Chains A and B, each alone.
Chain A
Amino acid sequence: SQTIHQWPATLVQPVGSPLSLECTVEGTSNPNLYWYRQAAGRGLQLLFYSVGIGQISSEVPQNLSASRPQDRQFILSSKKLLLSDSGFYLCAWSAGPWNGYNEQFFGPGTRLTVL
């Protein structure tokens, strides 16, 4: 069976510090991978998605970046965090290739607080 892991589960970081969130998927190959941000009481904002190693599409201009160094690993990074980066970060995967009907499976999320 497939599982998706995210770490850390919670993170408190000062403004201006770097960020690295990691997501890994087990039990599947060539998944589509996604990073979403959910602000408190808000909906899901798609940040990045990837259909393959080294292939990253950015949805929202911001000070965040994403990388996919391995088939089942997706990393969200920032060089300098802003207060507005606080939120609940969710990684998700879907079976590839993307055909529009792909169910997305979400990880447990990382709660980031920037102080």
Chain B
Amino acid sequence: GENVEQHPSTLSVQEGDSAVIKCTYSDSASNYFPWYKQELGKGPQLIIDIRSNVGEKKDQRIAVTLNKTAKHFSLHITETQPEDSAVYFCAASQGGSSASKIIFGSGTRLSIRP
């Protein structure tokens, strides 16, 4: 089955700097990669996703990149702000398939230093 590994487990950056979180996946059939943000005491919420037919997607200060050959994808947050502090999860699934589920990484706790 699919296995998603996520690094680092914790990340601290200065406000205004960029943050990068990296994930690798094992199943080459995976073709959909969502990213979720979890604030303290709340459930995760989708912030951005990417499908395997594109290599990069941007939404304001957030961008995701995907390298299908290497089977890894990354989340980039630029100009970080205090409200970016949260736990971020990457995930992978087989879009278009009725037999799969979303497999989540272990999470990255991002802290923004003022």
B and A form one assembly: yes
CB distance from B29 to the nearest CB of A (A): 10
What 0/1 readout, one digit per residue, does chain A (75-110) give for beta carbons within 8 Å of chain B?
Answer: 000000000000000101000011111011011110
Of all chain A residues, the one with the shortest Cβ separation from B49 is A103
Instruction: Count A-side interface residues using an 8 Å CB cutoff.
Output: 20
Contact B96 A101, beta carbon cutoff 8 Å: yes
Is A108 a contact partner of B96 (Cβ separation < 8 A)? Answer: no
**B interface residue count range (under 10 / 10 to 19 / 20 to 34 / 35 or more):** 20 to 34
Total contacts A to B, CB within 8 angstroms?
A: 59
Chain B interface secondary structure, helix, strand, loop or mixed?
A: loop
- Binary CB contact string for chain A from 31 to 50 against chain B (1 if under 8 A, 0 otherwise): 00000000001111010010
Contact B96 A106 (CB under 8 A): no
Q: Determine the distance from Cα of A94 to Cα of B103 in the docked complex, in whole angstroms.
A: 14
Majority DSSP secondary structure for residues of A touching B: loop
B95 nearest CB neighbor, chain A only: A100
Residues from chain A with a CB closer than 8 A to the CB of B36 are 106
A109–B104 touching, CB < 8 Å: no
Determine if B60 is an interface residue (Cβ-Cβ < 8 Å): no
| B102 with A109: CB separation less than 8 A | no
Asked whether, in the complex, the Cβ of B32 is within 8 Å of the Cβ of A100, the reply is yes
Contact indicator per residue, chain B 27-55, by CB within 8 Å of chain A (1) or not (0): 00001101010000111111001010000
Please determine whether B101 and A46 come into contact, CB atoms closer than 8 angstroms.
yes
Q: Apart from A46-B101, A46-B104, A106-B36, what are 7 other A-B pairs with CB-CB below 8 Å?
A: A42-B107, A46-B103, A59-B101, A97-B98, A99-B96, A103-B46, A106-B45
Q: Which residues of A contact B (CB under 8 A)?
A: 41-44, 46, 49, 59, 90, 92, 97-101, 103-104, 106-109
11 A-B residue pairs with Cβ-Cβ distance under 8 Å, sorted by A, are A41-B109, A43-B6, A43-B89, A43-B106, A44-B89, A59-B101, A99-B97, A100-B31, A100-B94, A106-B45, A108-B43
Residues of B whose CB lies within 8 Å of any CB of A are: 6, 31-32, 34, 36, 41-46, 49, 51, 89, 93-98, 100-107, 109
